[in-house]
Amino acid sequence: MKATIWHNPRCSKSRETLAILTETSGVEVEIVEYLKTPPDRDRLKEFYARAGISPAQGLRKGETVAKELGLAGASDDAILDAMANHPILIERPLVETEKGVRLGRPPEIVREIL
């Protein structure tokens, strides 16, 4: 099975999720550092739909740019646009397999799609 993790190596939850993936037998892990290679708006929309969460649930609300853009209570479209332009706003890590997508918070939740 292939698993793609949209990863930030500076994030402890992202590192913990990556460890779960690499320690799981039979999982081929692709690591994408999303701050260097961000997903586009359409891909983000797809991720959140497959994960069963809203873009607002995938937003890093505490980031300064989120506050500056007034994203609290914003529409899904406005949040997706902001994430596409400012990838730091994407809550991490996102993990994708053929079984679905999960936001690794808590990291153990990714086991659902392995």
What CATH number is attached to the domain comprising 40? Answer: 3.40.30.10
What is the pairing mode between strands 94-97 and 100-103?
antiparallel
pLDDT in 10s for each residue of the chain, 114 residues: 999 999 999 999 999 999 999 999 999 999 999 999 999 999 999 999 999 999 999 999 999 999 999 999 999 999 999 999 999 999 999 999 999 999 999 999 999 999
Domain that holds residue 22: 2-113
Q: Which of 1, 6, 8, 11 is catalytic?
A: 11
11 noted as active-site residue = yes
Distance from C-alpha of 102 to C-alpha of 69, rounded to nearest angstrom: 26
**Number of domains present in the structure of the chain:** 1
Contact 17, 95 (CB under 8 A): yes
